[in-house]
Amino acid sequence: MAITQPAAQQMANAIRALAMDAVQQANSGHPGAPMGMADMAVALWGEHLQHNPKNPHWVNRDRFVLSNGHASMTLYALLHLTGYALPIDELKNFRKLHSKTAGHPEVGITPGVETTTGPLGQGITNAVGMALAEKLLATEFNQPGHHIVDHHTYVFMGDGCLMEGISHEACALAGAWKLNKLIALYDDNGISIDGQVAPWFIDNTPQRFAAYGWNVIDAVDGHDAVAVSKAIADAKNSADKPTLIVCKTSIGKGSPNRANTSKAHGEPLGAEEIKLTREALGWTHEPFVIPKDVYANWDAKQSGVAREAEWNKAFAAYKAAHPALAKEFVRRMKGELPKNFAQTAVDAVIAAHTKAETVASRKASQLALEAFTAALPEMLGGSADLTGSNLTNTSSTPALRMNLAGDVVKNDKGQLGRHINYGVREFGMAAIMNGVALHGGYIPYGGTFLTFSDYSRNAIRMAALMKQRVIHVFTHDSIGLGEDGPTHQSIEHAASLRWCKPQGRCASTGWKHRTGGTSGLHRTAQEVTPLHREVRIRATETSRTGQPVRVKRAISARSNTK
């Protein structure tokens, strides 16, 4: 709908009221950012976001990431008001055990939450991964006259996300990849927990993003929903650049004594200040009571169902014209492995065991990958500038490259890039992989030295928390790596990550089992002699959906090497 004042004001005030009342009721939380971003939320969710509250999993929905996860009441209010299965009682139970309204948004718990956020900087990085996945899927599956993959990825983020170093890694890559359908709205309120950020955050953010190759829309009044909406409309026209919209806002907007102070950031306003805020906003309704006309203005159920129905029609036409591609797209987005994959995996393992080569396990890993990347077009590899050391590339995964217009280019063999040069950005790589996995359509894997898993650690933790199918290849996994010395030796890493450490020929078995959950595969730099041991491969494999898959050839073989 086209937003107009004063309806927009009331829609924004509904978010402000829900945020301050829920935080007050929980006696903890962050009212300031939701109150400050309320008008931005009206602009984006009231006018632009393509979603269907009745089906949060519609594959072509726009993705929305609340990178400043402490502002979770923004998202809960939006999900409730637009018609997701998040009743008002859940908002009354904000931050309570077993509620769907955790302190920070958690994917898989709350319908409509796309990723778990809270560790600042990772949300924007996940969003870069989602936008990348969209672009790559569109390249693979869209056909002339059939744009079945065609959505935006939107982000709200604050000063904290931009201060975190990972935002540099991710946003630099978003510029390099020309992710023009990524639109980030910066809540530029100049406040963080310790107060006015000016003394310790002096970056020129617009210039910083312009230098990354972003389209920057600066100095938008973040309390003018119409102005923000216009900026978003302009951003959607960006042909080859991601967009940063700098929204000037006041934290705690509406609160007479807390607005523009760090006290609004992370504590309840208190009963007296809430009363004053209600008066200042002209919001006369009791806590958790939203007038019918405000609900009606927010309601996105009908439009969402219509939007998805329209896409379903477009998909039916695509399916009629390109049945094989349509089938493959459905499989990929469901995250199911191809029917014959179990057999492929068994064949690869048998071949490795039969050959029993004396190679470094990173090489064994690459040999396994050679078979698996050929069988699984969804495997999207990469390395943080250690491709030749991690051995994550294969003949089916050429380097990913975009041309000047931002299109993904094919190599001279006609292959699309499927191996990402992340550059020296381990943390960015890990959180981008989380975003790719969350989007769906790909199984991301990426490599670095095991010792540098420390750089990526919190993103690995987030992948595990979110139960995402992300694979980390950690090579040079022992103190035996030698000449590089103690800086490059992993000592405590394997134990602290608590992962399996497959050896030698087990490399292919390791890869075979890494088709579900978050995994780290540790690989040696040095040759390892195959162990003399019995290999058994089950005749029945289990697919990701839990359905048994029959494998044609089962073996029980004994390796012939010492």
Ligand X SMILES: Cc1ncc(C[n+]2csc(CCOP(=O)(O)OP(=O)(O)O)c2C)c(N)n1
Active site members: 426
Q: Interior CA angle at 4 toward 222 and 311, to 5°?
A: 90
| Residue choice 42, 120, 333, 443 for contact with ligand X (CB under 6 A) | 120
CA atoms 542, 548, 552, 555: torsion sign: positive
User: How far apart are CB 197 and ligand X at their closest, in Å?
Assistant: 7
By C-alpha distance, which of 77, 136, 25 is closest to 290? 77
**Using N-to-C axis directions, what is the helix angle for 7-26 and 72-82, rounded to 10°?**
120
| Residue, CB closest to ligand X | 158
> How many residues in the shown chain lie near ligand X by CB under 6 A?
19
Q: Which is nearer to ligand X, 149 or 264 (CB)?
A: 264
Token pair, residue 237, equals: 């026209």
CB atoms within 10 A of CB 344: 18
By C-alpha distance, which of 134, 211, 191 is closest to 126? 134
Q: Does 265 bind ligand X (CB under 6 A)?
A: yes
Question: What is the rounded end-to-end Cα distance, in angstroms, of the chain?
Answer: 71
Q: Does 119 bind ligand X (CB under 6 A)?
A: yes
Q: Does 191 bind ligand X (CB under 6 A)?
A: yes
Q: Does 258 bind ligand X (CB under 6 A)?
A: no
Q: Does 68 bind ligand X (CB under 6 A)?
A: yes
| Residue choice 21, 159, 224, 347 for contact with ligand X (CB under 6 A) | 159
User: How far apart are CB 164 and ligand X at their closest, in Å?
Assistant: 6
- Between 1 and 40, how does the x/- string for binding to ligand X read (CB under 6 A)? -----------------------------x-xx-------
User: How far apart are CB 123 and ligand X at their closest, in Å?
Assistant: 10
Sheet-wide strand order for 443-449: 419-421, 379-383, 443-449, 471-475, 519-523
CB atoms within 10 A of CB 322: 17
Q: Which is nearer to ligand X, 76 or 84 (CB)?
A: 76
Q: Does 330 bind ligand X (CB under 6 A)?
A: no
| Residue choice 189, 366, 394, 518 for contact with ligand X (CB under 6 A) | 189
What whole-number distance in Å separates Cα of residue 512 and Cα of residue 337? 12
Q: Does 251 bind ligand X (CB under 6 A)?
A: yes
Q: Interior CA angle at 74 toward 69 and 79, to 5°?
A: 110
Q: Which is nearer to ligand X, 217 or 431 (CB)?
A: 431
Q: Does 448 bind ligand X (CB under 6 A)?
A: no
Q: Which is nearer to ligand X, 65 or 348 (CB)?
A: 65
Residues near 185 by beta carbon (within 8 Å), at least 6 away in sequence? 37, 40, 44, 154, 155, 156, 157, 228, 232, 245, 247
Residues at the site binding ligand X, with contacts judged by CB under 6 A: 30, 32-33, 68, 70, 118-120, 158-160, 164, 187, 189, 191-193, 251, 265
